[in-house]
Structure formats: structure tokens, C-alpha cells
Amino acid sequence: MGLKLASTLAVMFLFALMYAVVFVIGVWFLPSNLFGLLLMIAFTVGIVLLQYGISPLIVGWIYRIDWITYEEYANRYPHLAEAVEKVVAIREIKPPRLGIIHDLNPQAFTFGWTKNSARLVITDGILHYLDENEQKAVVAHELGHIVHNDFILMTVVFAIPLVLLTIARWSYYTARFSSFRSSKDDDAGSYIGLALIVVAVVSYISYWIGFLISLFVSRIREYFADQHAAELTENPNYLSTALVKIAYGLLANGTKKEIKQKQKSSVRALRGLGIFDPKKAKDVAVQTMDKSGKVSKYAVEAAAGWDLFNPWAKYFQVFSTHPLPAKRIQRLNEQCATYGVPIEYDFSEARKIKEFQVGKSMAGEFITDLFVSKLPTIVFVLLIALSAVWIFGFLGFLPLGTLTTINTIILLWAIGFFVMGFGVIGRTSFMYRSGFEPNNVVELITIINVSPVRPRPSIIEGVIVGKGIAGYWLSEDLYFQDNTGLMYIDYRFGFRLMDFWWALRRADQLVGQKVRIQGWYRRGPSPYFQVDKIWTESGKSFRNYSKHMTYVSAVLFFIIGAFLFYLWFTVP
């Protein structure tokens, strides 16, 4: 592990160092002409190609992948080998290298250089929680990325915004440094500097547009891979039900009687932790499943209601590489008629469930969430705006007649920093509210009016079944299962170095242990549970201080405000 860590950090440091050195040389020493810009663009493209070349090697270093031969894979999982063989024969490509990550977090991914040098990896969680048809659909989705050559396509797509960002940075810093090296009376130099600033602004705006377009293309490629899975399995529902388990964590396997028996056994195992209510657990299976033993339509539609109707979902969709699960399932549903199969989950009742829970509109909650989360930033921007108004002498147009001295501006900023400090405290109280109550995964997943800012304080009990990022040995997060489903556990100490230490020393030790977790259920774009406290079956407990660390910025604001008040008293 130590060698892997050293290798990974060394590679990251070399990339950063090389980029910084070459960028400084390109801006400062090269002439401010087209040659210097072209050289910087060529360097950026070279970095992208280098990352493309070594990324598969890095993935092999940082993930614990058990590579197995194709023959062994076919013996263990003949239904999955059948899917691979079919694609290899039809597309005339080389079989991908196949690997397993021994982690119950149900994940699958593929990587490589081309479709003839691909690696396809699934976790034990895919094999454990999904039935054979769902497993085949997941593998078919990943094979879709391989046959579509998404490795190359997405490398090119994401390289374009990086080139635009390089142009923006080069133009800005060249204009800035050139102003120091040119004469004050050099009008031509001034015009060139102004032109470079314009180029920098336009390029930076273009970078953001290009970045958003790149994310859009990435989401389209996911839809294509989903379509490939539907074609290969000839039933889009297989991937839909797999997504319900992977993305929403909703589980139900076996008959109603069998699940109830499992529930009773799990409750007896967890009763010693002292929170889970055995009486409540009797009805959990009924909530999670229908009469056929499948995940209930209500649970799925309520979980999908967040993707479909919560304004936060639209916000996250824009900045995501993957479509939201409900959107993917809707696309898969459109293909069901082609294969003559009925739709498994049509979301026909999702709107009614949403309206029953939160009413017709969630815009008010969304605006409140944004205001609370950005309150210190809003105050800071207002302070800058008011100061700018005073500096540029526009007081005649605004009722700010008292802002006539620098002393008054100092007072304004002093009050502003205190307001920002109280804003941080208010935001923390809103985002880390108390009132923890026992809950389970299915009840949390079906809550529509939650967000990253508006949580549901809860206590859950179950077993840690894997790491938050399956197979990644630096993952500080965990994966949890209770009697109703799966949940991503977000461990945020509040200080990055402590997260790193937790990943190295504690996270692996918790896998397989029965735990009680107190924290905040949040959503956005995937469901997750942020840790406050963890108690283990062995009697150990772990505390997270992310809530407390937020007060550091409040204290800092109060200190700055107090200093400005001191200046206000002392400046004549």
C-alpha cells in the first residue's frame, strides 16, 4: 500500500510541477505572439495524451482488482461470458481483460486505451445483489462503452475545454506580465494587452460552455451504453431493475415469507445495538417489496420522484457525467415496445407521490436552500458591491449618503464580517440539524424533499458491506446495508488529512462489522448518509467533526470583524 501511495502521489506531483514550470516559461520567457500560444496548446494536448496513456496503469495501481483468465471467468459466470462472447463475435474485437473487485458495493466499470485493449471490472456486489439477468445487463452496458470506443471519444471531448482554458490563462497572464515589461507610453502595447484580456474572457467563457457540452456528451454516451444493454439482453427491464438496486439501493429478493424470515434474523443480530425497533422491522419487507417478491412500485417511484421533480436534480444533472437514474429508466422504458415486453417501472404515480409529500411546487424550498448555503457569499458580494459604489463615486444614485469616509467603509466591512460569521452559524444549524430518529434505507430513499443542504437527521443500523468507492484503497467512505437496502456512507471529518488517515487506518477495519450510524441523510445527485457518529458491535465508537469544523470559518470572520472594529475606533 505504501508503494502504491508513493507512486500515485509522485505521478500527481510530477504532472502539477511540469505544468506549472512549462506554463511559467511559456508566459514569461517566450515572446507574446502566436508561437508562444501554439507551444502552450501543444503542451496541453501532450499532457492529455500522456494522461490517456498512463491512466489505465494508474487505475490498476489504485484499485484492488483480482484479474482472472477468460476461461476461469467463463467457468464461474457462464451467463456473463456468454454476453462477452456475443459482443466479441459480432463486433470482431478482442475479448476485454476481466477482473473482480472483492467488495459488496455493487459497481462496474471499464477502462483502457481502445476497444481492443479494454478492461472490464465488476464487484462482488454485482454478483451478490443482482440476479443473473441484471448482472448480464450491467456487463452489457460496460461492453457498450467498449464497442463505442468511448475511451478515445471522451478523451478528445474533454481535451477541447482544456485547450480553451489554456488559451484563457495564457492570454491573461501574458497581458499581465507584458504590462510590466512594456513602456508606459507604448500605446500599441496597451492595445495588445487589452485585446489579450478580451481573448482571455471569451476563452474562459468558451471553456465553461465547452465543459458543460462535454458533460452532456458524456451523458449521451451513457444512454448509448444503456441502449446496447437493452439490445444485447433483448429486455430493457433487466438494466432498469439493476439501476434500482445500484442507484437507489432498494433490495428485495425471494418471496415475502423468505424476506420476513431474513428480517427477523437480522433484527435479532442487531438488537444488541439498542436502536432498531423489532416491531417496526416486521413491516419493512412489505414496504420494500410487492407480492411477487420484487421491489415495490411505490418505493421505486418515490425514490425516482427526487430525480424527476426536485429542483436540485436539474441542477446536478447539468454538472454530471451520468444521467440521473430515473431519466435512464425512462429511456429504457421507451425501448420496451421494441422488444415486446411490459414496462417494469413506469413512474405513472411518481407525481402523485411527490404532491402528497411536498405539494405541487418545490421552488420555495430550493430557493431557501440556495440562500442558506450561499449566505456568507451573498453578504461578501454585497460588501464588495457597496465598496465599489463608494470608490467610484456613484453615491448620488443610491441612499448611501453616510458612506463618505474610509472610516465608514471600515465599519461597513466590520459589520459585514460579523454578519457572515452569524450566517455560517445559521447555515450550520440548518444543514446539521438535530432530532435524530431511527430510520431505514427504504424510508430515507423515498423522501423527496431532501437535498445536500436540507437533510433528514436519522439513525440507521446494519452492516458495513464495502468501501464507498469499491476497490479504491484510499476511499474513506463506506457502503452500508440494512434490512431494506443499501446506502452510501459519507465520512467527512472536516479536515482532509484526517479523512486520509481514516481511509488508511479505519475504513477497511469496519467492513463486515455491524454498526449503528447517527448522521444526516442527504441527496444530490445520489442518496448518501453523512456520518456524525458510528458505533460498532465491538463497543468502539467514532466521531465525525465536519459540523464542528464549519465553525472555524465563523470564528475567523468574527476575528476579522473585531480587528476591523478596532481599526474603526483608532482610525481618525
Give 478's strand partners: 467, 489
Q: How many CB atoms lie within 10 A of CB 452?
A: 18
Residue 570: pLDDT above 90? Answer: no
Q: Is 142 a catalytic residue?
A: yes
Q: What are the residues facing 101 on neighbouring strands?
A: 123
* Helix 150-181 with 132-147: angle, nearest 10 deg: 50
Cell numbers linked to 380: 461578501
The set of cell numbers assigned to 10 is 509522485
Q: Which of 564, 557, 560 is nearest to 408 (CA)?
A: 564
Residue with the larger pLDDT of the pair 523 and 294: 523
Instruction: Tell me which H or E stretch contains 122.
Output: strand 118-123
Q: Does 277 have pLDDT greater than 80?
A: no
pTM, rounded to two decimals = 0.82
Sign of CA dihedral 325, 315, 349, 354: positive
Instruction: Order the strands of the 97-101 sheet from edge to edge.
Output: 66-68, 97-101, 118-123, 108-112
Between CA 7 and CA 130 the distance in angstroms is 35
* Residues linked to residue 541 through DSSP beta bridges, in sequence order: 535
Contacts of 428 (CB under 8 A, 6+ apart): 547, 550, 551, 554
Phi-psi region of 492 (alpha: psi -120 to 50; beta: other; left: phi over 0): beta
- How far is Cα 481 from Cα 496, in angstroms, rounded to an integer? 26
Strand pairing partners for 480? 464, 487
Burial group, residue 100, by CB count within 10 angstroms (0-12, 13-18, 19+)? buried
- Residue 517 β-bridge partners: 460, 534
Domains in the chain, CATH or no CATH each: 2-61+152-225 (no CATH), 63-147 (3.30.2010.10), 364-572 (2.40.50.200)
Ramachandran angles phi, psi of 559, nearest 5°: -65, -45
Query: What confidence tens digit (pLDDT) does each residue in 295-325 have?
Result: 788 889 999 999 999 999 999 999 998 999 9
Average pLDDT score over the chain: 81
pLDDT at 23 over 90: no
Task: For residue range 118-137, list pLDDT tens digits in order.
Answer: 999 999 999 999 999 999 99
Query: How far, in Å, are 10, 160, 190 from residue 174 at the CA level?
Result: 30, 21, 12
For residues 179 and 522, the model is more confident at 522
pLDDT band of residue 331 (cuts 50, 70, 90) is very high
Give all strands (DSSP E) within 114-237, no chain letters: 118-123
The C-alpha cell of 343 is what?
414496462
Task: Identify which has the larger pLDDT, 403 or 214.
Answer: 214
Residues with Cβ within 8 Å of residue 244, at least 6 apart in sequence = 250, 295, 300, 303, 325, 329, 345
| % pLDDT > 90, the chain | 43
Residues 6+ apart with CB under 8 A from 6: none
- Whether residue 566 is predicted with pLDDT greater than 60 in this model: the reply is yes
CA distances to 50, 441, 554 from 549, rounded to whole Å, are 38, 27, 10
- 310 versus 492: which is more confidently predicted? 310
Q: What cell numbers appear for 230 in the block?
A: 437493452
Q: Confidence band (pLDDT; 50, 70, 90) for 276?
A: very low
User: pLDDT for 221-262, tens place per residue?
Assistant: 999 999 999 999 999 999 999 999 999 998 865 434 434 444
Helix axes of 546-570 and 406-431: crossing angle, nearest 10 degrees? 170
Q: How far is CA 269 from CA 112, 278, 455, 514, in A?
A: 43, 11, 28, 8
* pLDDT beyond 80 at 11: no
Integer Cα distance of 48 and 36 in angstroms: 19
* 142, 301, 344, 443: the active-site residue: 142
Query: Whole-angstrom Cα distance, residue 489 to residue 493?
Result: 13
Highest mean pLDDT among 44-58, 347-361, 507-521: 507-521
Residue with cell 496541453: 44
* Choice among 83-87, 283-287, 445-449 with the minimum mean pLDDT: 283-287
Omega before 572 cis (within 30°)?
A: no
Largest CA distance in the chain: 88
- Mean pLDDT, residues 535-550: 89
Which amino acid would we find at residue 195?
A
CA distance linking residue 92 with residue 85, whole number of Å: 10
Mean pLDDT over residues 145-164, rounded?
A: 86
The CA R_g of the chain, rounded to the nearest whole Å, is 28
Using pLDDT thresholds of 50, 70 and 90, give the confidence band for residue 513.
very high
